[in-house]
Amino acid sequence: MSKNKSSLTNFDECSPFFILGNPRSGTSMFRMMLNSHPEMVVPPECGFLEWLHSDFSDFSPETKGYEQFAKSVCASKKFETWGVEYSQLLETLVEYSPQNYRELCLCVYLSYAKKIGKRAIRVGDKNNYYMKRLNVLDDRFPLSKKVFILRDGRDVACSYLKLNEVKTTSEYYPNLSSNIREIAEEWRVNAESAAAYEKSGALVVKYEDLLSQADVVLKEVCSYLSIYYSESMLDFAQNNDEPVSFLQWKGKTTLDIQSDNKGNYKTILSDTECAEFEDVAGQMLKFHGYMS
């Protein structure tokens, strides 16, 4: 691939970065912040990268054509929310001539960048589901940087419970538990993963810090991703590209930073529910500074 074709630096070596976190932890808001950067692109959630790796991990243009990959991506759940047509994706694949699975995936993100008229020098993938498939990311994308978003697990539980009250028939609606101990266990496992990966070079960002000092946190994130900071990242609500079909449960993405959206558990969870959560995940709450 001739490097002058690509807006990415070092297309032949570049890997997407990953935004990871427990559901209901602010990962969508964070994605929108990064996608509001003039030279970063982080499309709405779609798990094609993990779903297709087994079919195309040994890809070469000689054995499997770009048409086959493009059709598989377009058939991936939620990809239709990007608004990228098969012909547009195929055009990007032909333009960049990817030679392996990593480069194929880069082209999918670049097709979205082209669709929204952006010159991207960094591309990212946000998906909470990847928390269960971190081994795949490590294996297939060993050079990729990871940014974990962490939120007080008790507030996460409040959000889970509130979500279960929403009435919808959307095929995209997340199926989340309403059992406090199950929510706590999921959060504990994910918080442990974030702590473990932080030791090996990943970045952990607290949702609460994004609420109170977004510019400071985003400057740190940009430094980690080796890209300049842009104040346009703070205008994420005005640049909202979350699919309309997601807004029933992601309505806050249409709003500016809600600095008071923390500590909700103090008025929403009962003493018994708080005790249950802390019984399961208290050690991780303490480790990450959410409990003394």
pLDDT value of residue 3: 37
pLDDT value of residue 1: 38
Cα–Cα distance measured from residue 269 to residue 264, given in angstroms and rounded to the nearest whole number: 8
**In 3-state terms, what secondary structure has residue 20?**
strand
Domains by residue range for the chain, with CATH: 3-287 (3.40.50.300)
Encode pLDDT of 143-199 as tens digits: 999 999 999 999 999 999 988 777 666 667 677 888 999 999 999 999 999 999 999
Cα–Cα distance measured from residue 164 to residue 83, given in angstroms and rounded to the nearest whole number: 29
Q: Which two tokens stand for residue 146?
A: 């990871």
- Does the reported pTM lie above 0.95? no
Q: Determine contact, residues 148/286, Cβ cutoff 8 Å.
A: no
Q: Which of 118, 111, 149 is nearest to 18 (CA)?
A: 149
- Is pLDDT above 90 for 206? yes
Q: Determine contact, residues 143/160, Cβ cutoff 8 Å.
A: no
Write out the H or E segment, with its range, that includes residue 159.
helix 153-163
Encode pLDDT of 109-155 as tens digits: 999 999 999 989 999 999 999 999 999 999 999 999 999 999 999 99
Encode pLDDT of 260-283 as tens digits: 889 999 999 999 999 999 999 999
